[in-house]
Amino acid sequence: MSWNREGQRVTGVYLKSYLKSYTVIGTVENSRVKYGGTVQHTIQLAQPVEILGTLRDRILLDEDDLLTV
């Protein structure tokens, strides 16, 4: 399986280690390998979500935070 998930529909957990986590659904816009070798994805959300008082339509998720692909 490739690390590049551009165009794939995914479900993931945003802010998993924070006080409140958010389960999100969206499409991967961009995948990149970060310094150190971990993979991070830019997710275009299917529905905007209010996170910490800000309405967001895109978020960043690490590969480890994805639930389904």
For the stretch 14-57, pLDDT in tens is: 998 777 888 999 999 999 999 999 999 999 999 999 988 999 99
Rounded CA-CA distance 52/33 in Å is: 27
1 in a structural domain: no
Q: Provide the whole-model pTM.
A: 0.89
Looking at the 3D structure of the chain, how many domains does it have?
1
Residue type for 56, please?
A: R
> What is the pLDDT at residue 20?
83
> What is the pLDDT at residue 18?
72
2 in a structural domain: no
> What is the pLDDT at residue 1?
58
4 in a structural domain: no
Domain of 40?
9-68
Structure tokens at 16: 């998993």
Rounded CA-CA distance 39/49 in Å is: 23
Q: How far is CA 10 from CA 15, 19, 27, 33, 46, in A?
A: 16, 23, 6, 18, 10
